[in-house]
Structure formats: C-alpha cells, structure tokens
Amino acid sequence: MTQGLNQQVVAFPTRSLSDEAYLDLWIDSLYKKVRYSGRVISMTILLILWH
C-alpha cells in the first residue's frame, strides 16, 4: 500500500522546480492589546502576504 507513497517521497527532493510557477505565501503574527467586551485583552493579529 505504501510503495506508491515511498516513490513520491524519494522523488520529491530531486524534482524539477522549473516546470511550474510557484506562489509565495508569508504568514506572521503579532500580539496587541485590544478592548473587547469592555475588557483589555491580548489578541493575535495575523499578517498574510500572498504574491
């Protein structure tokens, strides 16, 4: 059952990257204090750049 998967895993590091276009995806986050429901809490802000 895993023979096909093993072949894909072995081929992955040696594949050609020039055959297709690849998008860049950058994800980061930061914490800021915000007022929520009458309280000040620390909340995560996600920053996502897709190019």
- Distance, CA of 18 to CA of 36 (rounded, Å): 48
The pLDDT tens digits along the chain (51 residues) read 677 788 888 888 988 888 888 789 999 999 999 999 999 999 999 999 988
Give the pTM.
0.45
Looking at residue 1, its pLDDT comes to 63
Averaged pLDDT score across all residues of the chain:
89
Residues 1, 18 contacting (CB under 8 angstroms): no
* SS3 annotation, 2-51: CHHHHHHHHHHHHCCCCCCCCCCEEEEEEEEEEEECCEEEEEEEEEEEEC
DSSP state of 1: -
pLDDT tens per residue across span 37-48: 999 999 999 999
